[in-house]
Amino acid sequence: MGKINRREFIIKGTTVTLGAGIMLRSGLSFNYSPLKKSKVVEVYHPEAVVKNREVNQTVVQKMLKQGLESLTGIKKTPIAKFINADDTVGLKINCLGRPMLHTHHELIDAMIKELKEIGVKENNIIVWDRYDSHMTDCGFTMNDTATGIRYSATQMRKDKMSHFDPEYVYKSDFDNPERRNEDGNICRFSNILTQQCDKIINMAILKDHRLAGVTLCLKNISYGICNNNGRFHGPDHISTFITDIYSLPEVREKIVLNIVDGLEACFEQGPVPRSSKVLFTPKTLWMSTDPVALDTLGLEVIEAKREEKEYPALREIRPTIDHIAMAAGAGLGKNKKEEIELVKVDMTA
């Protein structure tokens, strides 16, 4: 996919209704192929995480490279399947589980190395999340300058509106009005997504969520790229909101790769675990162009761990987990096992 210029990004049509919300200055298109299986690559290495939660950078680099090669079929520079050298690339990470669980620095650094190897300039790489305070709590040093890797956030403590796009909003009355902020029924989008980046790599983590069931690829994007979304954090609204936001063509077209960081994970107390007792170490990375397929498999991994630890199944206690099925129904990907091609790469040897 080539670059999307500003005019093409904002003015694709008039107003379109999505679920119960309205996306202003947008259109809707899908590239869903019901006849083709979604490929997911699972990469495991027993030495990815060792004692005291130490992550091995060298091993993670090898895991990422091998996973990308298996996903694309390209040996030398597999990331070039998705990214061009002149792209500005956003790495959408997840820091909400700070400080105990977040997208690992080692995986982020491994991806940065892959991007630099194909010629992407350092300052054209943006590592970002919604809040700068969450990022600094996770050990990231913010950098919004014209040199080096950029570490940025949509909402900055110094200026809470610093990275919002004034022209791009999501409007919905299908929410909890009591939880609206000063913007009322409007969600404002991050201009890191709408203006600054040509491509996005979604770098989610493997964790449960007390309302959504899980926070994986779909929720990492839907709740991470716009504000005033706490009003949808309820069983009646959460799945529709997640599906609406990820359905936007601007979102779908820019997200070229999804990765679930399963080096470490949590099966309970998500999205903000407070005890190491709810953490586990799959020592695994999952990657695909299909976020729904990844979320489907990630849910299975968490459910298996909960069963092992004698916790009730998420499907029984958190009914809002239906956002994965809803997203599949909207054409965002596959959630049936027979429609998913799982390629397992065991790097034990």
Interatomic CA distance for residues 284 and 263, integer angstroms: 5
**Helix residue ranges, H only, the chain:** 6-10, 57-72, 105-117, 132-137, 191, 217-222, 238-247, 249-254, 291-308, 314-317, 323-329
pLDDT at 12 over 50: no
- Structure-block tokens of residue 271: 């999205």
Residues in the chain: 349
pLDDT at 62 over 80: yes
Say what the pLDDT of residue 20 is. 56
- Helix or strand (DSSP H, E) at 152: strand 150-155
Mean pLDDT of 15-33: 44
Mean pLDDT of 140-165: 88
Interatomic CA distance for residues 117 and 123, integer angstroms: 14
pLDDT at 34 over 60: no
Q: Buried b vs exposed e over 78-111: b needs ≥16 C-beta within 10 Å? A: bbbebbeeebbbbbbbbbbbbebbbbbbbbbbbb
pLDDT bucket at 161, cuts 50 / 70 / 90: low
With contact defined as beta carbons under 8 Å apart, do 267 and 208 qualify?
yes
Mean pLDDT of 41-48: 98
**Interval 86-130: pLDDT, tens:** 999 999 999 999 999 999 999 999 999 999 999 999 999 999 999
* Percent residues over pLDDT 90 in the chain: 81
In total, how many domains does the chain have?
1
Say what the pLDDT of residue 11 is. 31
**Interval 235-285: pLDDT, tens:** 899 999 999 999 998 899 999 999 999 999 999 999 999 999 999 999 999
- Structure-block tokens of residue 294: 């990844």
pTM: 0.91
pLDDT at 15 over 60: no
For residue 177, whether the previous peptide bond is cis, meaning omega lies within 30 degrees of 0, is no
Strand-pairing partners, residue 201, are: 91, 257
Structural domain boundaries, residue 308? 6-346
> What's the mean pLDDT when you consider all of the chain?
90
Residue 226 DSSP class:
B
Say what the pLDDT of residue 160 is. 56
- How far, in Å, are 53, 96, 297 from residue 214 at the CA level? 22, 13, 11
Say what the pLDDT of residue 2 is. 41
Mean pLDDT of 7-31: 40
Interatomic CA distance for residues 307 and 305, integer angstroms: 5
- Structure-block tokens of residue 102: 């977040």
Decide if 166 is inside a domain: yes
Decide if 340 is inside a domain: yes
pLDDT at 52 over 60: yes
CATH number, residue 339: 3.40.50.11440
Say what the pLDDT of residue 325 is. 95
pLDDT bucket at 35, cuts 50 / 70 / 90: low
Interatomic CA distance for residues 190 and 181, integer angstroms: 16
Lowest model confidence (mean pLDDT) among 131-145, 150-164, 247-261? 150-164
Decide if 1 is inside a domain: no
Mean pLDDT of 212-229: 95
Strand-pairing partners, residue 134, are: none
